[in-house]
A and B are shown apart, each in its own frame.
Chain A
Amino acid sequence: DAGVTQSPTHLIKTRGQHVTLRCSPISGHKSVSWYQQVLGQGPQFIFQYYEKEERGRGNFPDRFSARQFPNYSSELNVNALLLGDSALYLCASSKGTHTEAFFGQGTRLTVV
Chain B
Amino acid sequence: AQSVTQPDIHITVSEGASLELRCNYSYGATPYLFWYVQSPGQGLQLLLKYFSGDTLVQGIKGFEAEFKRSQSSFNLRKPSVHWSDAAEYFCAVGAHGSSNTGKLIFGQGTTLQVKP
Question: Which residues on A are within 8 Å of B, measured CB to CB?
Answer: 4, 31, 33, 35, 41-45, 48, 50, 55-56, 58, 90, 92, 94, 96-106, 108
Contacts and interface: CB of A to CB of B under 8 A. Distances in A.
A97 B103 CA distance: 8
13 contacts: A33-B104, A42-B106, A43-B104, A50-B102, A55-B102, A56-B103, A92-B44, A97-B98, A98-B95, A98-B102, A99-B102, A103-B45, A105-B42
B109 A58 contact: no
8 cross-chain pairs, A with B, having the tightest CB-CB distances, nearest first: A56-B101, A42-B106, A97-B102, A45-B103, A103-B44, A105-B43, A103-B43, A106-B43
A43 B44 contact: yes
- Report the interface size class on chain B: 20 to 34
A48 B103 CA distance: 7
B96 to A, nearest CB: 6
B44 A94 contact: no
Interface of B: 4, 32, 34, 36, 41-46, 49, 90, 92, 94-98, 100-109
A56 B98 CA distance: 11
Contacts, number: 70
Contacts of A96: 102
A41 B9 CA distance: 10
B81 to A, nearest CB: 22
Contacts of A99: 102
A94 B108 contact: no
A102 B80 CA distance: 26
B102 A43 contact: no
B96 A98 contact: yes
Contacts of B92: 42
Nearest to A102: B46
Contacts of B103: 33, 45, 48, 56, 58
B64 to A, nearest CB: 17
